[in-house]
């Protein structure tokens, strides 16, 4: 294929004036797709590298043997003994904390601090760091979790979350500082973080259980692995963005590097670091359900139990999931407010210190009273049983039953037509072509969209996928991911534009989008299954629900940023609303649209494994298979590798395409919206 006109080298050619593009980019893309399609007809299903669901290859078996060796040598393996000691320490800490607030601290029949005491302390802490509104919000959220009937599990989730976030920060901050001082470290650590964020947790759960035993420690370890990347990334970014002039000024005053770090960089980066804490917490919560797969304490367990008990338990799963959402929103709001407040205080604002101290002291006294009361009386120690949880569950259950029984005819029609019209033809092309045809086509497309760098990255990733012996499955997964992203973008653009143009719509939709992002997908899997039956479409729907919120928010922000004057000028010039949207607002928000597509893609990819649980097949199924059955462990690992490679390829090509567009927003937007990308929950 020919390179597009703005490829490197073009500028040096003595052609003047620069010729207009004869064939636009989309023209080239079309040509590639047509040739690809013809080649796939000729190939007629040959050389697609299909491997049946329950077969493995030598590449896979090597990993399986590796794990068997680990198990056989576990009594003498030094690394395992060391990790075992660490995990004993983790278990000890978590059990102490549980005795403090969640489970009976024997021989005490109840935990040391009962629910009223926890409310008092949580309220006081929120008051201290975020203000009285947030204190009330925190207490209300916790009380609601109790009313829904999940006080103990909710406390366990909070314990695991806080402890994991503490560990993540203890590891992440020094790493971030190190990354900030050395470009080389940065170059090594960044891809490792990428892999950690995209590698499906399902694949490493079972081997991790060998190292970390089956107590709370493994929940902490899994959570830390997933929450570490945002902690490191955002802290490193925060340190890097402390202004050059400030640093130069202090250096000229003779500060050493260490002094600079402690006295200037860390304090100045504090608000951004709190944003990092926020994102780390959200990531930790989003993996809490996965931790339930290895008996991790917390709300993940009731959610998963409902999944095994079948369609009569959707309401129960919803109530447990809603508790996770409540906790997530509570932590999000408090940490965001805390970050804004430190910024305010850093600039010298923040109100009268003396009054603040008095209020805090009085509130502290009240909190102490509540702790005392909760230690003395049963009714303030154990959260009383209420009918609220079961009633909400029943209501949700009957609403779900009604929907599924009335609409399943219609939904089956939708599922069948989308599968026949979109998914199957695209899959025939991508997975049904001989592997070398698809590989070549993807390389050319990467080059067209993201230049030679993009093509090089794709070449590396595609070779890796070929090596995993899961080429066919990877291409089926790629197809589903692309279709899902397409749907996500269509809906995100419609909703995003609507939100940007109408304040009221924004105000109504935003909380729903927030909830959609944190609600564990396991909660809606069963109703979605009942509506659409197992299959790739259902997997796409699950991914769609997870990815739409982030993409929609990005589109809305992008459209809203188009300057008022431009919009007024266009309106004055007689543009109809339709013209205004299509000719002015959307083109000017192009950078955000590209970013939304990129994020949408990554979020969809993060749901591939969940898709495997509902008939999505391909790499998702392979990952679940590897976790469920020892003899397929290696296949699961290979599927994990293939998912990571697909993720890197798709992300880098999309990013490469975005970087060619000058209006693409900067790194911070990307960071802020990046997490809670989670593959599973």
Partner 1 sequence: MKLRKASAITGSLATLALVLSACGGGDIAAEEKENESQAAAAGDCGELNMAVNPWVGFAADAYVVGHLAETELGCTVNYKDLKEEVSWQGFGTGEVDVVIEDWGHPDLEKLYFEDQGGDGSAMEMGPTGNVGIIGWYVAPWMAEEYPDITDWENLNDYADMFETPESGGKGQFLGADPSYVQFDEAIVANLGLDFQVVFSGSEAASIAAFEKAEANKTPLIGYFYEPQWFMSEVPLVKVNLPEFTDGCQDVAQDVACDYPETQLKKVVATEFAESDSPAVDLIANFQWTNDDQNLVAKYISVDGMSAEEAAATWVEENPDKVEAWLS
Which CB, 454 or 535, lies closer to partner 1?
535
Listing DSSP states for 489-544 in one string gives HHHHHHHHHHHHH-HHHHHHHHHHHHHHHHS-HHHHHHHHHHHH-SSHHHHHHHHH
> What torsion do the CA atoms of 368, 371, 377, 383 make, to the nearest 10 degrees?
140
Nearest to 141 by CA among 153, 128, 125, 123: 123
Q: How far is the CB of 361 from partner 1 (least distance, A)?
A: 8
Distance CA 558, CA 495 (A): 12
Name the segment binding partner 1 (CB under 8 A); options: 25-33, 281-289, 541-549, 608-616: 608-616
> What torsion do the CA atoms of 463, 464, 466, 468 make, to the nearest 10 degrees?
170
Q: How far is the CB of 377 from partner 1 (least distance, A)?
A: 4
Q: Which of 119, 139, 160, 206 binds partner 1 (CB under 8 A)?
A: 206
The answer for residues whose C-beta is within 8 angstroms of residue 67's C-beta and 6 or more apart is: 206, 207, 210, 630, 633, 634
* 409 binds partner 1, rule: CB under 8 A: yes
Q: How far is the CB of 154 from partner 1 (least distance, A)?
A: 17
Which CB, 57 or 424, lies closer to partner 1?
424
* Contact assessment for residue 451 and residue 25, using Cβ atoms and an 8 Å cutoff: no
Binding mask 238-277 for partner 1 (x = CB under 8 A): ----------------------------------------
The interface with partner 1 within residues 55-114 (CB under 8 A) comprises: 55, 68, 71-72, 74, 106-110
Listing DSSP states for 222-288 in one string gives HHHHHHHHHHHHHHHHHHHTS-HHHHHHHHHTT--HHHIIIIIIHHHTHHHHHHHHHHHHHHHHHTH
> What torsion do the CA atoms of 240, 243, 245, 250 make, to the nearest 10 degrees?
-70
Which CB, 206 or 509, lies closer to partner 1?
206
Q: How far is the CB of 375 from partner 1 (least distance, A)?
A: 7
* 308 binds partner 1, rule: CB under 8 A: yes
| Phi, psi (deg, nearest 5) at residue 76 | -115, -5
| Phi, psi (deg, nearest 5) at residue 516 | -60, -30
Q: How far is the CB of 68 from partner 1 (least distance, A)?
A: 6
The interface with partner 1 within residues 103-162 (CB under 8 A) comprises: 106-110
* Contact assessment for residue 601 and residue 477, using Cβ atoms and an 8 Å cutoff: no
Token representation of residue 672: 């802020």
Q: How far is the CB of 439 from partner 1 (least distance, A)?
A: 22
Distance CA 447, CA 458 (A): 9
Q: Which of 77, 255, 424, 579 binds partner 1 (CB under 8 A)?
A: 424
Which CB, 177 or 399, lies closer to partner 1?
399
Which CB, 68 or 329, lies closer to partner 1?
68
Q: Which of 152, 165, 307, 589 binds partner 1 (CB under 8 A)?
A: 307
Distance CA 209, CA 627 (A): 11
The interface with partner 1 within residues 513-552 (CB under 8 A) comprises: 525-526, 529-530, 533-538
Nearest to 230 by CA among 672, 679, 681, 680: 672
Name the segment binding partner 1 (CB under 8 A); options: 171-179, 209-217, 249-257, 472-480: 209-217
* 502 binds partner 1, rule: CB under 8 A: no
Q: Which of 138, 198, 213, 480 binds partner 1 (CB under 8 A)?
A: 213
Distance CA 512, CA 499 (A): 13
Q: Which of 339, 419, 479, 598 binds partner 1 (CB under 8 A)?
A: 419
Q: How far is the CB of 41 from partner 1 (least distance, A)?
A: 16
Which CB, 513 or 523, lies closer to partner 1?
523
* Contact assessment for residue 306 and residue 317, using Cβ atoms and an 8 Å cutoff: yes
Which CB, 193 or 205, lies closer to partner 1?
205
* 487 binds partner 1, rule: CB under 8 A: no
Which CB, 5 or 364, lies closer to partner 1?
364
Query: Packing angle between helix 216-240 and helix 78-101, nearest 10 degrees?
Result: 90
Q: Which of 190, 311, 571, 663 binds partner 1 (CB under 8 A)?
A: 311
Q: How far is the CB of 363 from partner 1 (least distance, A)?
A: 8
CA atoms within 13 A on the CB side of 184: 0
Binding mask 33-52 for partner 1 (x = CB under 8 A): -------------------x
The interface with partner 1 within residues 5-24 (CB under 8 A) comprises: none
Name the segment binding partner 1 (CB under 8 A); options: 256-264, 265-273, 503-511, 614-622: 614-622
Q: How far is the CB of 34 from partner 1 (least distance, A)?
A: 24
Which CB, 430 or 526, lies closer to partner 1?
526
Which CB, 217 or 269, lies closer to partner 1?
217
Distance CA 490, CA 610 (A): 22
Q: How far is the CB of 217 from partner 1 (least distance, A)?
A: 11
CA atoms 326, 327, 330, 335: torsion sign: negative
Distance CA 250, CA 258 (A): 12
* 295 binds partner 1, rule: CB under 8 A: yes
* Contact assessment for residue 589 and residue 566, using Cβ atoms and an 8 Å cutoff: no
Angle CA 680–300–384, to nearest 5: 155
Q: Which of 612, 640, 656, 676 binds partner 1 (CB under 8 A)?
A: 612
> What torsion do the CA atoms of 635, 677, 123, 275 make, to the nearest 10 degrees?
130
Binders of partner 1: how many residues, by CB under 8 A? 90
The interface with partner 1 within residues 628-667 (CB under 8 A) comprises: 628-632
Which CB, 376 or 566, lies closer to partner 1?
376
Name the segment binding partner 1 (CB under 8 A); options: 25-33, 183-191, 288-296, 489-497: 288-296
Nearest to 678 by CA among 605, 598, 595, 594: 605
Q: How far is the CB of 362 from partner 1 (least distance, A)?
A: 4
The interface with partner 1 within residues 336-395 (CB under 8 A) comprises: 355, 358-359, 362-363, 365-366, 369-370, 372-373, 375-381
Which CB, 170 or 365, lies closer to partner 1?
365
Q: Which of 137, 620, 640, 647 binds partner 1 (CB under 8 A)?
A: 620
Q: How far is the CB of 229 from partner 1 (least distance, A)?
A: 25
Which CB, 67 or 672, lies closer to partner 1?
67
Q: How far is the CB of 206 from partner 1 (least distance, A)?
A: 5
Q: How far is the CB of 271 from partner 1 (least distance, A)?
A: 27
The interface with partner 1 within residues 446-475 (CB under 8 A) comprises: none
Nearest to 48 by CA among 633, 621, 618, 459: 618
Q: Which of 81, 96, 181, 312 binds partner 1 (CB under 8 A)?
A: 312
Angle CA 633–634–639, to nearest 5: 100
Distance CA 156, CA 299 (A): 8
């Amino acid at each position: 294929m020919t390179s597009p006109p703005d490829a490197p080298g073009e500028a040096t050619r003595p052609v003047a004036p620069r010729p207009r593009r004869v064939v636009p980019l989309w023209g080239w893309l079309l040509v590639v797709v047509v040739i690809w399609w013809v080649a796939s007809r000729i190939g007629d299903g040959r050389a697609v590298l299909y491997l049946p669901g329950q077969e493995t290859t030598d590449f896979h078996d090597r990993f399986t043997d590796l794990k068997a060796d680990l198990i056989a040598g576990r009594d003498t393996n030094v690394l395992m003994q060391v990790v075992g000691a660490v995990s004993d320490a983790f278990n000890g800490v978590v059990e102490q904390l549980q005795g403090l607030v969640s489970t009976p601290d024997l021989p005490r029949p109840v935990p040391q601090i009962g629910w009223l005491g926890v409310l008092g302390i949580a309220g006081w802490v929120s008051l201290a760091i975020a203000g009285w509104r947030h204190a009330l919000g925190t207490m209300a959220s916790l009380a609601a979790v109790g009313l829904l009937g999940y006080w103990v599990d909710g406390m366990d989730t909070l314990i695991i979350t806080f402890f994991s976030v503490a560990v993540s920060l203890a590891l992440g901050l020094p790493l971030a500082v190190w990354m900030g001082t050395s470009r080389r470290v940065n170059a090594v650590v960044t891809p490792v973080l990428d892999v950690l964020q995209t590698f499906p947790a399902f694949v490493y759960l079972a081997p991790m259980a060998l190292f970390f035993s089956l107590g709370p420690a493994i929940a902490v370890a899994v959570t830390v692995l997933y929450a570490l990347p945002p902690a490191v990334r955002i802290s490193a970014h925060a340190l890097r963005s402390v202004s050059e002039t400030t640093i130069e000024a202090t250096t000229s005053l003779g500060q050493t590097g260490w002094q600079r770090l402690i006295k200037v960089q860390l304090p100045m980066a504090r608000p951004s670091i709190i944003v990092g804490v926020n994102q780390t917490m959200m990531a930790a919560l989003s993996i809490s359900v996965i931790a339930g797969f290895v008996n991790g304490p917390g709300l993940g367990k009731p959610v998963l139990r409902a999944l095994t008990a079948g369609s009569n338990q959707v309401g129960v799963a919803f109530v447990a999931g809603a508790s996770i959402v409540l906790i997530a929103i509570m932590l999000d709001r408090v940490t965001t407010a805390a970050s804004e407040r430190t910024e305010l205080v850093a600039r010298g604002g923040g109100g009268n210190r003396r009054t603040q101290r008095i209020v805090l002291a009085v509130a502290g006294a009240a909190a102490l009273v509540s702790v005392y009361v909760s230690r003395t009386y049963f009714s303030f120690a154990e959260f009383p049983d209420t009918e609220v949880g079961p009633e909400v569950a029943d209501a949700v259950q009957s609403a779900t039953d009604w929907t599924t029984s009335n609409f399943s005819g219609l939904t089956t029609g939708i599922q069948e037509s989308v599968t026949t019209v979109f998914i199957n033809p695209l899959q025939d092309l991508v997975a049904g072509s001989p592997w070398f045809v698809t590989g070549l086509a993807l390389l050319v497309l990467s080059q067209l969209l993201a230049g030679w760098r993009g093509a090089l990255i794709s070449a590396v990733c595609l070779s890796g996928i070929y090596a995993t012996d899961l080429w066919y499955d990877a291409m089926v997964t790629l197809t589903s991911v692309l279709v899902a992203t397409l749907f996500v973008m269509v809906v995100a653009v419609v909703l995003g534009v609507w939100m940007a143009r109408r304040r009221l719509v924004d105000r109504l939709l935003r909380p729903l989008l927030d909830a959609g992002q944190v609600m564990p997908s396991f909660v809606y899997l069963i109703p979605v299954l009942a509506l659409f039956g197992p299959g790739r479409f259902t997997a796409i729907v699950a991914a769609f629900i997870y990815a739409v919120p982030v993409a929609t928010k990005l589109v809305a922000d992008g459209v809203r940023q188009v300057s008022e004057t431009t919009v007024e000028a266009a309106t004055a010039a007689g543009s109809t609303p339709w013209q205004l949207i299509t000719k002015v607002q959307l083109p000017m928000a192009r950078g955000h649209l590209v970013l939304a597509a990129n994020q949408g893609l990554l979020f969809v990819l993060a749901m591939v494994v969940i898709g495997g649980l509902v008939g999505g097949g391909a790499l998702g199924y392979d990952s679940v298979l590897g976790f469920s059955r020892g003899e397929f462990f290696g296949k699961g690992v290979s599927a994990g590798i293939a998912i990571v490679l697909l993720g890197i390829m798709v992300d880098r090509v999309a990013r490469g395409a975005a970087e060619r567009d000058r209006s693409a927003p900067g790194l911070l937007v990307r960071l802020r919206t990046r997490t809670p990308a989670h593959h599973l929950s």
